[in-house]
Amino acid sequence: MPYGRRRFRTAVVGAVLAVAALAGCAGGDPAAAPAPRRTPAQAPAPASPPRPTPAPASPWDVAPSSVAAVGDSITRAFDACSLLADCPEASWATGTDPAVNSLALRLLGAGRVAGNSWNLARSGARVATLPEQMARAAAERPGLVTVMIGANDACRPTAARMTPVEDFRHFFTTALARLRKDAPEARVYVASVPDLLRLWDTGRTSPLALRVWELGVCGSMLADPRDLGPAAEERRAAVRERVVAYNEVLAEVCAADELCRYDGGAVFGFRFDGTLLSTWDWFHPSRDGQARLAELAYRRITEK
């Protein structure tokens, strides 16, 4: 074979073998083929933090549309304006006297007090009369009922005649239940019973107070106001303990009702001095004293 043709055939054979070799690499045993590259798995996205559960809305109403007041002579503003007489216009709860700036004036405004507030308290009332007062309050369907009761249960002719604590609990619980029967959505503000021992301590050095108290004002605490002997001190301590027990009842019963607010002992802890007491009896609040009671109540009622 001539040299040229042999060289050509050799080149063709080499090309064929090269193509065959390439074909063998491309179409060989799949098991011998390199494994496909895997991309690393993506890390899971971080979980979103749980949304905080919104606090439930408070059922308390800081701006009631009407006010009814129940209780005793303090809420009737007895001896605040004249001797031995109620003065409801000066009442801390529902009065219209701008100098006192009552709770109703603060909450409702002067133009709405007359038709949207009711003073149903009674001078001389004890807790046993509270259910009947509450029934009258419930009939008005008030937005807010104020309660101040208990001073007359402790202020008896003698300490032995003070209202027993369990009786006090019974009547107060019954009164609140009576309100809920006909006015289930009414809010209730409960003021604590004043500290009668502090009252004695405030007036015992005043000749005028001593002369008035000797006429029989709050005998259980104020009888023989000059007597500092053991028996008198023990009697006064017993009266104060009873007042503390009444306030514990008011706080406990009120706490069981989500629409009730106790004043936290604000009235009990308030230091009434001579300028805040009636100059006729040195026992009931004066107009200025009524204004301080209104301020304490408004502060507690409008807390959010």
Reported as a single tens digit per residue, the pLDDT across 218-256 is 999 999 999 999 999 999 999 999 999 999 999 999 999
Around 228, how many Cα atoms within 13 Å sit in the side-chain half-sphere?
4
Residue boundaries of the structural domains of the chain: 67-301
- The pLDDT, as a whole number, for residue 46 is 56
- Give the C-alpha distances (Å, rounded to integers) separating 232 from 163, 211, 224, 237, 246: 20, 18, 8, 9, 21
pLDDT at 11: 39
| Residue-averaged pLDDT of the chain | 87
Quick one: average pLDDT of 169-176?
98
CATH code of 67-301, in short, is 3.40.50.1110
What is the mean pLDDT of the segment spanning 27-54? 50
Range of weakest confidence among 6-15, 89-98, 100-109, 242-251: 6-15
Integer Cα distance of 242 and 248 in angstroms: 10
- Is residue 57 exposed (0-12), middle (13-18) or buried (19+ Cβ within 10 Å)? exposed
Look at the pTM and tell me if it is higher than 0.85.
no
Tally the residues of the chain.
304
Report CA 250 to chain centroid distance, whole Å.
Answer: 13
Cβ atoms 203, 213 nearer than 8 A: yes
Which of 50, 75, 64, 55 is closest to 108 using CA atoms? Answer: 64
Question: Tell me, what amino acid is at 269?
Answer: G
Percentage of the chain exceeding pLDDT 70: 81
Average pLDDT of the segment spanning 79-95: 97
Sequence-ordered list of residues with C-beta below 8 angstroms from that of 256, at least 6 positions apart, any chain:
none
What is the rounded distance in angstroms from the CA atom of residue 220 to the CA atom of residue 162? 8
Range scoring the smallest mean pLDDT among 19-23, 67-71, 73-77, 293-297? 19-23
Q: What percentage of the chain exceeds 90 in pLDDT?
A: 78
pLDDT-derived band at 102 (thresholds 50, 70, 90) equals very high
The pLDDT of residue 25: 35
Report how far apart, in Å, the C-alpha atoms of 110 and of each of 94, 116, 149, 211 are: 11, 11, 26, 39
- pLDDT for 304 equals 87
34-55 per-residue burial string, b: 16 or more CB within 10 A, e: under 16: eeeeeeeeeeeeeeeeeeeeee
Token code pair at residue 275: 């300028």
